[in-house]
Structure 1
Amino acid sequence: MGLVRDIMVRTVITIEHDKNAKDVALLFAEKGISSLVVVKDGKPIGLVTERDLARKISTTDRKSAEVPLSEIMSANFRWVEPMTLIEDAVQKMLNKNVRRLLVLDNNSLVGIITETDLAKYLRSKLLIDGALDDVTALNRKVIKSG
């Protein structure tokens, strides 16, 4: 199996820690994304998702502009290194019941992988493996009839 670096998304959209829930919602809408990495001094300190936003804002009577990002983000994000085997990353996601992993190299954010990235990778791997099986079977048939 491949390495995380082979499938990670390298362009990670981040948001500064001192923003609010409205800033998060606007960035989600503008970029068409469902999660943001929260950074402070250029280092990741948390993660915020559409689910976090919906759950935490819908349970308050405050306006989203009044809710600090620190109240809706998760500081307990999971991460892997670029050289991590994809199989190990999948196992970590399953064990921790998370949908995305940050990719850190020497504590610096270098990428992110999501369930969608893994599904695309596994789909292409299955298609390639299936095509190779078909070619092998065809070669065997040709050799037998040859």
Structure 2
Amino acid sequence: MSLDSSGISSLMTKNIVVAEQDANIIGISRIMSNNNIGSVVIVEDLKTRKPVGIITERDVIRSIGMLQPHQLVVPVREHMSHPLITLSSQATVLDAMKLMYEKKIRRIIILDHDRLAGIITDKDIFRYLVENKDLLSDIITSGDLPIPENRIKDEMSHFWFFNNFVR
């Protein structure tokens, strides 16, 4: 097993919480809070679930930080990150790692024939690497990392520490 043969479809979250573009930041914040999630995929409409953007916790904080109350009721299409950065459900873990590093993002929307199939996060990938220690040691010693070795070590220790000691 290697990163370039490990498919992301087994790691991604398939039960995606979505909202339409007409929702506002207050509604999106409630959705995030009620579902204990850090992002909501924005779709054209709930029937087709065609993704057009994403609202993350960071987007919500930026909107609130503007200190302009009217921004809280503006449709999320004004606040969402777009165009979406996506991968095919046939992509590999290595593909996802490279894309996250290159685009400096933490979440990627996964599509299957242009339909929303799931979402994969940096935490999903790090959890996978921690659970597959042999794979992790192989990629570190091979020098085949899509991100600098010192950064992955920092990220792994941060992830391990917070998931084991901080709750």
Structure 2 stretches lacking a partner, 5+ long:
138-167
Cross-structure match for 1:82: 89
Root-mean-square deviation over aligned CA pairs: 1.7
Local SS of the residue matching 1:48: strand
Structure 2 counterpart of 1:8, from 12, 15, 18: 12
The whole-number CA distance in structure 1 between the counterparts of 2:113 and 2:71 is 34
Question: Are 2:125 and 1:118 aligned?
Answer: yes
Offset from partner CA, 1:95-127 (integer Å, 9 cap, x none): 110100000011100000001100110101116
Give runs of aligned pairs for residues 13-92 of structure 1, distance below 5 A. Answer: 13-41=17-45, 42-63=49-70, 65-92=72-99
Secondary structure of 2:69's counterpart equals coil
Aligned length: 130
Where does residue 98 of structure 1 map in the other structure? 105
Q: What percent identity do the matched residue pairs reach?
A: 30
Residue ranges of structure 1 left out of the alignment (5+ in a row): 131-146
Structure 1 or 2, whichever has the larger Rg, is 1
Q: TM-score, normalised by structure 1?
A: 0.83
- Inter-CA distance 66–91: structure 2 relative to 1 (3 Å threshold): same
